[in-house]
Amino acid sequence: MPGQAERAERFRGRGLAYLSVGSGICNQCRHVSDDGQSCKAFPHGIARRILTGEIDHRKPVSGDHGIQFEAREA
């Protein structure tokens, strides 16, 4: 699995801002990808406002393909 610096460079190369998942709920979601930057709802990259928790993705968000936050099973 690539490190944070490698993931950040890959996202910069695609013209996206890399944010470390932390304050939002994405890191607890069963749909988030290993890179922490995409998920089943947003396969091309999770919006910064969702990653930071500014937008609560426990409710539908435009473009989420009907997939919202679901907690990972322990």
- Tell me which of 46-50, 61-65, 68-72 is least confident: 46-50
The predicted structure's pLDDT at residue 11: 54
pLDDT single digits (tens) 3-57: 555 655 555 555 555 555 455 788 899 999 988 889 999 999 999 899 888 999 9
DSSP 15-69: T-----S-SSSGGGBTTB-TTSS-BSS-TT---HHHHTTSS-TTS--TTSTT---
Give the pLDDT band (50/70/90) at residue 58.
Answer: very high
- Domain parsing of the chain, residue ranges: 1-74
**pTM score:** 0.67
